[in-house]
Amino acid sequence: MRKVLSGHGASRGSALGRARVRLPHALDVAEETIPAEQVEAEIARLHAAIDVVRAEMGLLRERLQGALAKEIGEFLDLHALLLDDPELLEGLDELIRANFYSADYALRLQRDRIAAVFTHMDDAYLRTRIDDIDQVIGRIHAALHRRDAAVHGIAGEILVADNVAPSELPQLQAQGVLAVVTSAGSALSHSAILARSLHLPLVVGATWALQKINDGDVLAVDGSTGLVVRDPDADDLRTHRARVREGKRERRQLNRLRREPSRTLDGADIKLWANAESPEDVAEAHALGAAGVGLYRTEFLFLGRRELPDEEMQFQAYRNLVLGMTGRTVTIRTLDLGADKADNTGLVLPDEPNPALGVRGVRLSLRRQAVFETQLRAIVRASGYGPVRVLVPMVSSREEVLAVREQLDRTIAALRAEGHAIAEHIPLGAMIEVPAAAIALPGFIDTVDFLSVGTNDLVQYLLAADRNNEALGDLYTPLHPALVRLLGDVIATASAHGKPIAVCGEMAGDPAFVPLLLALGLGEFSLHPATLLEVRQAVRACDLSRLRSRAETLRHAYDRASIEAWLREATCPDNPAARVPSHG
């Protein structure tokens, strides 16, 4: 029966397909027993589910090609081994036979028993192996509940889950998944950022998705509005087709701007850099005429791997990035692992009580000198192939920038001594995303060559509002007077010292914020190529001097409503991208 669920649009695009429901890994199954006469049937049901999972993984393995086959294949091989692991499986039959437990509850008990053993291990790497057990058990659990056991592959399907990890997304896309709907998550999470980068439609915060959607249900998903229609009727199908057509029409129109400058009505040139995470992003950024790469998040090289990427592997990735941009500057951000970007290599501290406030970004790099040194060597070597800038995440003090600069200088000297051809000058910049750095900026601006404002984190830390918690709703917003004022101060400080400054958080990629950022004096935006043409279109519809003349009113706005009113008034009516942002 038709049902409309509403979540939050986190990555645009429309999809029509069948649902593949993945139940949460941490099985929330209450104790459940079955009549004695059902025991053998229950064991058979469990083994049928295990066979389905084994077959699915075999199919998946065959479909993987190229680089993915190596990287993801490792996971699949391990998971396939676990499926045959007597430790994992033997106890299950026994639990059902001796205690008359349901297969679901037996799975949960077995999972908890193994988790208890792993949790007490000293080795951080081994402790993270519980994720693999969870994934395998989660797959079996999902297979137990599949309405149609014959559904094997997931190509052409829409994944419905509680959440997705950033590291899963490329794999899902390679498998041909059309879209993802999650009951939790947020549009500002790293998964959402990566989904946008992969052009994979994503709806997050669809609270009832796991209860209301079953395997095999037909879904129409709109990654812009966040609407998910189960069993769409004729009208929904027409709407879906219209949306797909409209999307194509908009693309065609925007494509006319590919070769146009990012210039305001009154002739000011605005620099649009690209946030690039993959070779596809780099190619797109280049084709759309991005000024260069303003943010390359190196942690994505580390996610989904079991071993740290060595110098050579990193060097090749950075060099390919530099070569891909054919002489335009690329900004390589040093490792920002931690918080929701936990890796599988054991680098990130497990069990931090509050990882967003923990050892992430530059804090981790400065504690893991050898890892940092390897990364800096790879970046500096890549600078021999084209202009490179180094950007440091999560800076909160002058001391941190100085420590990085010292290590960078040492690395440059060592590589020169080894005979490497490297750039004459490698600018060093700091992310401004911790409020302390924003406030203390006048005291350390002399230590940096450029700045990049990470509004995703700056909003989170300034407003004490978790960027991954959809339940906070409007509390997470760049339209808070504190953020607007702080941003204005940071841009003014940078300009007064002649230091280039960009905004590279998601705010910069939303055309609705363009008038606000231009009014505050921003001249550089770094954004994902997916919205570059829309932002260019918004820039071209703005009159910079008119906006600047209204900056003071904006800086003195005292609540969200007055900032929204300012935006409505300031936004050029003939800007086709004009709308007051309704989300965070």
| Closest C-alpha to 399, from 370, 433, 362, 427 | 362
Q: Is 506 in the site for Mg ion (CB under 5 A)?
A: no
Does residue 285 sit in helix, strand or coil?
helix
CA distance 181 to 446: 46
Contact call for residue 299 and Mg ion (CB under 5 A): no
Residue 190 a catalytic site member: yes
Residue 496's alpha-carbon distances to 244, 269, 389, 434, 501, in angstroms, are 46, 19, 21, 21, 11
What residues numbered 96-155 form the site for Mg ion, per CB under 5 A? none
The catalytic position among 79, 141, 480, 504 is 504
CA dihedral 379, 383, 384, 385 (to 10 degrees): 110
Residue 193 or 557 having the CB closest to Mg ion: 193
Q: Which of 294, 454, 488, 521 binds Mg ion (CB under 5 A)?
A: 454
277 is an interface residue for Mg ion by CB under 5 A: no
Contact partner at residue 297 from ligand PEP, Mg ion, none, CB < 5 to 8 Å by partner kind:
ligand PEP
Nearer to Mg ion, 56 or 433 (CB): 433
CB of 392 to Mg ion, least distance (A): 11
Give how many residues touch Mg ion by CB under 5 A. 3
Q: Are 519 and 548 spatial neighbours (Cβ–Cβ below 8 Å)?
A: yes
DSSP string, 393-432: TT--SHHHHHHHHHHHHHHHHHHHHTT----S---EEEEE
Q: Which residues contact 506 (CB under 8 A, 6 or more apart)?
A: 187, 188, 193, 455, 456, 527
Q: Does residue 433 bind Mg ion (CB under 5 A)?
A: yes
Reported as type and span, the H/E element at residue 465 is none
CB of 360 to ligand PEP, least distance (A): 9
The minimum distance between CB 51 and ligand PEP, in angstroms, equals 41
- Strands 271-275 and 227-230, how do they pair? unpaired
Residue type, 364: L
- Give the integer Cα–Cα distance in Å for 349 and 115: 18
The strand ranges marked E within 242-291 are: 271-275
**Is residue 542 flagged as an active site residue?**
no
- Provide the β-strand partners of residue 297: 333
Contact 533, 285 (CB under 8 A): no
- Taking the complex as a whole, the smallest distance from the CB of residue 434 to Mg ion amounts, in Å, to 9
Instruction: Please identify, using beta-carbon distances, which residue of 27 and 347 lies nearer to ligand PEP.
Output: 347
* Catalytic hit among 190, 286, 480, 528: 190
What is the radius of gyration, based on Cα positions, of the chain? Answer: 25
Q: Which does 331 bind (CB under 5 to 8 A by kind): ligand PEP, Mg ion, none?
A: none
Which residue has its beta carbon closest to ligand PEP?
Answer: 454
Binding-site member from 277, 457, 466, 506 for Mg ion (CB under 5 A)? 457
Kindly state the smallest distance separating residue 226's Cβ from Mg ion, in Å. 24
Instruction: Summarize as ranges the residues that interact with ligand PEP (CB under 6 A).
Output: 297, 336, 433, 454-457, 504-505
In the complex, what is the shortest distance from the CB of residue 456 to Mg ion, in angstroms, rounded to a whole number?
5
The catalytic residue positions are: 190, 504
Residues in the site for Mg ion, rule: CB under 5 A?
Answer: 433, 454, 457
